[in-house]
Amino acid sequence: MLKFRAVAPALVASAILGSGCSINLSAEHYIGKEEKTFAVTGKPELSLKTFDGSIEVTTWDKSVVGVTIERRAGSQAEAEALKVTSSQDGNRIVVEAVQPERSMQVGIHVGRSVRFVVSVPKNTDLVARTGDGSIAVTGVHGRLELRSGDGSVTGTGLDGEVVANTGDGSVALEGVKGKVDVNTGDGSVRIAGAPTTLRAHTGDGSVALDLESGTTIKENWEITTGDGGVSLALPGTINAELDASTGDGSINASDFGLQTDRDSRNELRGRIGAGGSTLKVRTGDGGITIAKK
């Protein structure tokens, strides 16, 4: 069922046009909502893609993938014309909002977008991609690929293999576990949890890492920023070989008994705990602080 409503400071009029389709008229833009459900018998493999619009994914205790498709445009006709395709092959589900053709308009123009609000079983493999918009995922365990061309990426309680990538925007992962790979062209990065492997990069922005007690660095980790400070809060039981350097800034790891040499204040290498895999930290311009929790 596809429903449309208008968003405006004041409602001008409303009308109901047969077959469960409702339209509210106003001076601004239209929002059309459509609900789709996909029953699954095992672990879903869900792919979501939109040319422009946010994606929000949460979990529920059902063997069903529920997708709310929200079309936004400057008029009812434009909203209805936004094409969204969907298919299911067993537990594999694909939902995609197709890029509309460009149109030449004079005067005020409301951009067209398609937003997805999704509920999935806890154990789900997920690919979520948007050309322009934020992505927020909560509580999902599996292989997760979250990519935005321009927008923030946030995740809470994720576990598995997590790839978070945005061309322009911040990335924040809270309570994350498993393999983590984060990349943003321009924006801050915050990661809190107990990852088993970690790669975090930003072209321009700060990086903050807050590790839970009991976290172990099983493979080499790499944290880099082109321009920004790095702050690492590590449990006292962590073991690693530290390799840190900054192009312009200071390094402080005194909580772990490590000090930079007078002749090399921009570099610090040393053993944390019993050593082991390498914890590599790089910033082109900014300070590095490595503190014990």
157 pLDDT band, cuts 50/70/90, is very high
Cα three-residue angle 148-120-132, rounded to 5 degrees: 15
pLDDT score at 26: 36
What pLDDT, on the 0 to 100 scale, is given for residue 110?
Answer: 55
Confidence band of 22 (pLDDT split at 50, 70, 90) = very low
Torsion of CA 152, 153, 157, 163, to 10 degrees: -160
Average pLDDT, the chain: 89
Q: What is the pTM of this model?
A: 0.88
232 residue type, one letter: L
In this predicted structure, the answer to whether residue 72 has a pLDDT above a threshold of 80 is yes
More confidently predicted of 172 and 3: 172
pLDDT at residue 103, as a whole number: 57
pLDDT at 2: 58
Q: How far apart are CA 180 and CA 163, in angstroms?
A: 6
* Segments making up each domain of the chain, as ranges: 152-293
Interval 216-261: pLDDT, tens: 998 999 999 999 999 999 999 999 999 999 999 999 999 999 987 6
CA neighbor of 133 nearest in space, from 74, 52, 79: 52
Give me 102's structure tokens: 């460009």
Model confidence at 107: pLDDT above 70: no
